[in-house]
Amino acid sequence: MFSSAVDALARKALFSLDAETAHGLTVKALASGLTPACKVPQDGRLAVTLADLAFPNPLGMAAGFDKNGEVPDALLALGFGFTEIGTVTPLAQEGNPRPRVFRLPADRGVINRLGFNNEGHAALRARLAARRHRGGIVGVNVGANKDAADRIADYVAGIEAFADLASYFAVNISSPNTPGLRDLQAREALKELLGRVMEAREAAAGRHGRAVPVLLKIAPDMDEAGLDDIAAEVLAAGIEGLIVSNTTLARGGLTDRKSAAEAGGLSGRPLFRRSTIALARMRLRVGPRLPIVGLGGIDSGEAAWTKITAGASLLQLYTGLVYEGPGLVGRILTHLSACLDRHGLAHLGEASGRNAEAWAKADPDGQGSV
């Protein structure tokens, strides 16, 4: 496990650089093999099954860190139970102009307006093909090019491009940084999107012999009617799960008012409450069986446990790692095991959703925990 002293030293060096440069150097360090593997607790009670996937533990690296599939194996070596690559679009694109990533240290948050910057399908496919036999759960987060004439066709192209390589697909229609993308969350658009995606998935299954699980990644900023529509279409389409949630456009309660004025999606600790409420409300809508990945503001074992009890089946983080370092992975898993001991539970799934009703009633713009 990484020592807290090493974590702190590395963070101090990286925080002396602008956020995007620091991120690039972190990816290069992981790719170089200079970062050691991290031993994390092995507890069979934390294993999770989703469709045909057996996750060794519930904690994953969220999309956005490894957009181009450069370091999936290095991330798995840090102790993550899975990792998610992307968001990847059919054609390479630069994304929005720099600067486009802003730390909010006083709030333990980050605002980004990257805009799906990535090297495109071909580059990612080459990297994934090269690691085909290495194992580990590596999801592919698919998106649409900014100037695509038919954005749904871009998602279909993503399914077709990676159906023989992806452990699962995350369909990302919730980034706030591609104009109009969140319009795909509207009911009729979502119905068409999921229908075409699932049709492509089934066709690919016929070619490759495996139906790759599909998860939908949604925003935390929807009203009750929007959540109703998404729940109905997700259940009707028969997809395998949800990821709740992407970044938020809300800015309430931030200390760093200068950075808060920057356009983009807010992640990290300020997202925790809003995303957890959205998670709980969606859990109550879709029932206890549909897997939901809880994402947004997880930076401690306590936050991870709260997401589980609010309704999560699996977890993802990214910004928490920026502030807490790679040792966070082991600390979270240790805490989850301790919570199972304390509550006398035989498996993590027994805790999922225990506090969903309370979180579902909370005010996203309120303060404190439930």
Task: Tell me if residue 169 falls in helix, strand or coil.
Answer: strand
Strand-pair partners of 317: 61
| CA distances for 42 relative to 39, 137, 301, 318, 333, angstroms | 9, 16, 16, 22, 9
CB 87 within 8 A of CB 118: yes
The amino acid that residue 157 corresponds to is A
d(CA 7, CA 4): 5
d(CA 219, CA 249): 9
| Residue 134, C-beta contacts closer than 8 angstroms, at least 6 positions apart | 73
CB 247 within 8 A of CB 176: yes
Nearest alpha-carbon partner for 300 in 254, 345, 333, 252: 333
Which of the residues 3, 4, 167, 175 is marked catalytic?
A: 175
CB 248 within 8 A of CB 219: yes
| Residue 311, C-beta contacts closer than 8 angstroms, at least 6 positions apart | 279, 280, 282, 283, 284, 292, 294, 352, 353, 356, 359
CB 84 within 8 A of CB 318: no
| CA distances for 154 relative to 80, 142, 147, 149, 298, angstroms | 29, 8, 11, 9, 31
d(CA 212, CA 164): 8
CB 81 within 8 A of CB 57: yes
Q: Is 175 a catalytic residue?
A: yes
List the catalytic residues.
Answer: 175
